Structure formats: structure tokens, C-alpha cells
Structure 1
């Protein structure tokens, strides 16, 4: 199959072959994958089984952990199998499916971070209204809104790339099927892609990050007005660590999906994807939850039960 009126239906993911040290690169990715798998699975198990973690904050954290698990499972196993078997092929439908899962989980994570920042804002700045504003019904509505919004965004992306004719090449210089990388191989003008990417990025990235920043600014101002220096330092440390993870996630996502097609760089895209998908999945359980007293208490109870069983 070649250029012209023909369109490729099978692609080759050759991103690892273009790394200077592919074994080292894959080893780092696989280590991050294992840490993300263990951390998020443990967090989901604790939230599901411990009665002390049945609060709105941990309800949203459990969804974040689920998103992170789905994200890394859609990328790393395929990449590792390709490297071991030296078979880097993927069908067009498999490619679109991987793009859909990545966009779905990435968009959902963008939106769930908004709900988590709002939860912290209400807990710190409006504690008396917390039981009303964050009751179970409202949390479920926000959760449905998160999944609905990310599903629409993923569906738009899939419907855009699936019917395109891919006659330039079937070589994707990436270790996964990436939305911009696949569009590069299309015979069509990329102007429509750029417009679509900018619009979706504005809705999915800039609006949520504006809400997150506004929430944390309000939290910081409230904390600075508090009299207790110890609690202030602890809250400031938590806010700073949260904002670092959010910053890495959003900046790399914006650089990945708002880069004009004409200036697309495969090497830069691969690095950005690590910080947009795998690195947050590894760091989120530690930054958001495993440092909390409630989660540590649940871990101690779990280890105590395991010891008693032995």
C-alpha cells in the first residue's frame, strides 16, 4: 500500500527505535508503570474497604486513581510487548482506540482535578457549608459531568481521525498512537486539526486550570489569615505539592495538544507524553493521598490485619 488514493490501515510505532538508549528509556517507563500500578491499586483498595475514607475527597481520589490506572494500562503494556517481540504494528482501529482511551482518561483527569480543588476550597474556606455543598448527590453529579465532558472530547477526537486518509506514511515516530502524530500522516490539510485542537484545549485545559488556580489562591489566602502557623505551613506545603503536579500535567498537555501541526516534533512529543500520562499516574497517589493521616491509618490497619492473618 502506498501513496496516492490508497490509505494505510496498519501503522508502525517506531518511537523506541529512535531513542539513544531504548532499554534505559523503557526501563524508566516500566519502573514508573509498576509504581503507578501498585500505588493506585492500593489506594483504590483502601478507599473501597476502609470506612474512614468514605468522604467526598476520597471519592474523587478513587476516580483519579482509576483514571491513572486506565491511562498507564493503555500505553505501557503495548509498548513493552512491541519492544520484546520487535513487532511495532498496530491497526488503524487499534490506534484510534488507544487515542480514545488516552483522550478520555486525560480529559477526565483534567476535570476531576477541578472537582478536587473545589472540594478543598469548600473544606478550608467554607467549612460550615461543606456537608451541604459536598453531599453525596452533588458529588455524583460532578462525577457524571466529568465523565460526560471527557467522553464528548474523546468522541470528537476519534470521529475526526478515523475517516482521514493516511497516504503519506504508516510510520508513527512515537511509542504510542498519539493524536497529533497520527494526524501528521494524513493527506488532508492540517488547518482543521489546528482549529479543533485549540478549541478542545481551551475547553479542557484553560478553563479548568483557571478554576483550579482560583480555588488554590482562595485557599492560600484563607490559610495565610489563619493564626496557627503549624497548620498554615502544612496546608501551604500540601497546596504547593498539588500545584506542582497540576502544573506539570497541564503544561505538558497543552504543549502536546496545542502545538501547530507544522511544528510538530516527535522527540518532544514523546517526552511530553511521559509527563502528561505516566508521571502523574506515578506521583498522584503519593502527592494527594499516601501522605494523608487518614490513608496512613488505613494502611496501618491493613498491615495489622495481614499480620494477624499470618
Structure 2
């Protein structure tokens, strides 16, 4: 009888239940409205940044090409999780089918992996620009930029194809309540009734490799960048180099800090509530912050925005 019940539980209802953020708050309607506003800000901010980069010829450089790729990833990143969460809250249904869950997981893992390597490519671009300025047009030509961007997307997709099918083929015979607001791999794995310890070790090693490889590239790039900046005679040159690199390092710290917590810290450090809060930070807030970081402190971007809006000399004075 127990065996039949197990089979029924395993083969019957395939939908998962997303417990989500809203059950943790006393005013879920207010939280839903705030997240919706943040979602619109993220979409509009990244769309505007992409349009500025592709419409202004002065921004047709490798650095801004990679920033546009980052904005594209951020737009997709937040769109994978937030709309489903908001729709579920509005209609009062917190279910997600197994195919939807798998697709959400694949897209999320793919975009996260792609962004890891894109941030490393951006660090390499800054290294070449600052340490080898005379060879920069050759070393970072259009073909190289396209190859680097394509490589980021391919490596991220490989990550998604590696983890998603394996995670979703485990038998789920326990409660199908995912204590999260989307189908993240660790949260879904907790529902499996089979031994996932070996797979978790494999996933941990893969995540360490996925994180450490870009971190080594970023660290090496900035080591040589700092050496070059230290040797600069021009104070204006040092200031410009620091301004350019500080924006990128801010994004790196925000994104990698949250990723290290999620995928590299032992399970004893994790609780469903902490995991959701960290995921909110790098899934919802980071896509809003990135366009602000790369635009508000960047005279070229603000100048392009002025030209697009044609706001005249008053606005020009504010960006000096």
C-alpha cells in the first residue's frame, strides 16, 4: 500500500507550489506593488541604456558593447522570475508546472553563468584598454568582441543544459512546495526523495570552477591595471582609469558576493528565508542597479542621453 502511495505521489500531480516571498510579509499587496515598480525600472533603465549605446556613434566601443550585453542579460534575468511571481500573486495561484519550472531553471542558470563570464570579459577589456592602449584597437576589434560575447552565452548555455535536465529528472516524492519565489536548483533539489549528495558535490565543484575562473581573470586584470595606474604621471589619467574600473568592480562585488553565498557556502549557512533574500538582491535589485552604476557616473552615457532627449545646455551643465 505504501509503495502504491509513493507511485501515486510520484506520477500524479506534476505541478510545484512556489511558496514565494509574499507569504513572509504582512502586507503582500504593498510588496507586490513595490516589486512591480522595481521590475519596470529595471526594464526601462536597461532598455534606455541599450538604445543609447546603439544609437550614439561615440558609444560604439568594446566597453559599451559589453555593457549593452550586460543590460540585455539583466533584462532577461529579471523577466525570467518576476512576471511569474507577480501573476501568481495577483490571480491567487502559486503553482508552476514541471515544464515551466524546468524552463525557468534553464534560463536562470544560463543567464547567471553567462553573466559570470561576461564580467570577466569586461575586466579583460579594461585591462587591454589601460595597459595596452596603443594595441587596443587590434586586440579588441569587432571580431574579438563578438567572439568573447558569444563564448559567454555558449558557456552559460552549457551550464543550463548541464544542471537543468539532471535536477528535473530526480524523483520528487516529498512535498512539492518550493520554498522560493522561482525554481532555483538548490531549492528544487531539497524536494527530491533520492540521494542527491553526489550530484550536489558535482554541482558544487562545477560552481567553484564557474566562479573561480572568471574571478582569476578579473583579479589578474585588475592587478595589472592597478600597477599601470600607479605608474601614470597624469593625475587626470589616473582619475579617469579609476572611474572606469570602479563601476565594473561595484557590479562584480554585488553579483559575485551573492553567487558565492548561494552556491559555495555549506548548507548549514542556508535557510529558506536567507536564500530568498539573497536571491531578491541579485535577481531583482542588481538589474536595477547596473544601468544606474554605468550611467549616472559616466559622462559619455549622460551626454548621449542629453542628445537623445535634446534637453539643451541646462542639462549639459549638470553632467560636467
TM-score, normalised with respect to structure 2 = 0.89
Answer yes or no: is the 8 Å Cα contact 2:126–2:245 preserved in 1. Answer: no
- Give the match for residue 74 of structure 1: 80
Determine if the alignment matches structure 1 residue 91 to structure 2 residue 93: no
Identify if the C-alpha distance between structure 1 residues 144 and 24 changes in structure 2 by more than 3 Å, giving closer, same or farther.
Answer: same
Determine if the alignment matches structure 1 residue 30 to structure 2 residue 36: yes
Answer yes or no: is the 8 Å Cα contact 2:85–2:182 preserved in 1. Answer: yes
CA positional deviation for 1:23: 3.8
Identify if the C-alpha distance between structure 1 residues 158 and 211 changes in structure 2 by more than 3 Å, giving closer, same or farther.
Answer: same
Supply the distance in 1 between the matched residues of 2:91 and 2:250 (Cα, whole angstroms): 37
Identify if the C-alpha distance between structure 1 residues 264 and 188 changes in structure 2 by more than 3 Å, giving closer, same or farther.
Answer: farther
CA positional deviation for 1:19: 1.3
Greater shift in the superposed pair: 55-64 or 214-223: 214-223
Task: Give the 3-state SS of the residue equivalent to 1:176 in structure 2.
Answer: coil
Supply the distance in 1 between the matched residues of 2:263 and 2:300 (Cα, whole angstroms): 37
Task: Give the 3-state SS of the residue equivalent to 2:46 in structure 1.
Answer: helix
CA positional deviation for 1:138: 1.0
- Give the match for residue 15 of structure 1: 20
Aligned ranges for residues 145-160 of structure 1 at < 5 Å?
145-160=151-166
- Give the match for residue 264 of structure 2: 258
CA positional deviation for 1:239: 2.8
Task: Give the 3-state SS of the residue equivalent to 2:195 in structure 1.
Answer: coil
- Give the match for residue 277 of structure 1: 283
Task: Give the 3-state SS of the residue equivalent to 1:169 in structure 2.
Answer: coil
Supply the distance in 2 between the matched residues of 1:210 and 1:295 (Cα, whole angstroms): 29
Identify if the C-alpha distance between structure 1 residues 226 and 185 changes in structure 2 by more than 3 Å, giving closer, same or farther.
Answer: same
Supply the distance in 2 between the matched residues of 1:182 and 1:229 (Cα, whole angstroms): 52
Supply the distance in 2 between the matched residues of 1:260 and 1:147 (Cα, whole angstroms): 28
Aligned ranges for residues 74-223 of structure 1 at < 5 Å?
74-223=80-229
Greater shift in the superposed pair: 84-93 or 50-59: 50-59
Please tell me the root mean square deviation across aligned C-alpha atoms, in Å. Answer: 2.1
Identify if the C-alpha distance between structure 1 residues 14 and 86 changes in structure 2 by more than 3 Å, giving closer, same or farther.
Answer: same
Answer yes or no: is the 8 Å Cα contact 1:190–1:261 preserved in 2. Answer: no
Identify if the C-alpha distance between structure 1 residues 71 and 151 changes in structure 2 by more than 3 Å, giving closer, same or farther.
Answer: same
Task: Give the 3-state SS of the residue equivalent to 2:134 in structure 1.
Answer: helix
Deviations 1:263-298 (A, max 9, x none): 642111111112222222111112224432221221
Supply the distance in 1 between the matched residues of 2:197 and 2:262 (Cα, whole angstroms): 16
Question: What is the aligned length?
Answer: 305
Identify if the C-alpha distance between structure 1 residues 232 and 263 changes in structure 2 by more than 3 Å, giving closer, same or farther.
Answer: closer
Supply the distance in 2 between the matched residues of 1:17 and 1:143 (Cα, whole angstroms): 36
Identify if the C-alpha distance between structure 1 residues 257 and 26 changes in structure 2 by more than 3 Å, giving closer, same or farther.
Answer: farther
TM-score, normalised with respect to structure 1 = 0.91
CA positional deviation for 1:228: 2.3
Answer yes or no: is the 8 Å Cα contact 1:194–1:261 preserved in 2. Answer: no
Supply the distance in 2 between the matched residues of 1:184 and 1:260 (Cα, whole angstroms): 14
Answer yes or no: is the 8 Å Cα contact 1:19–1:25 preserved in 2. Answer: no
- Give the match for residue 56 of structure 2: 50
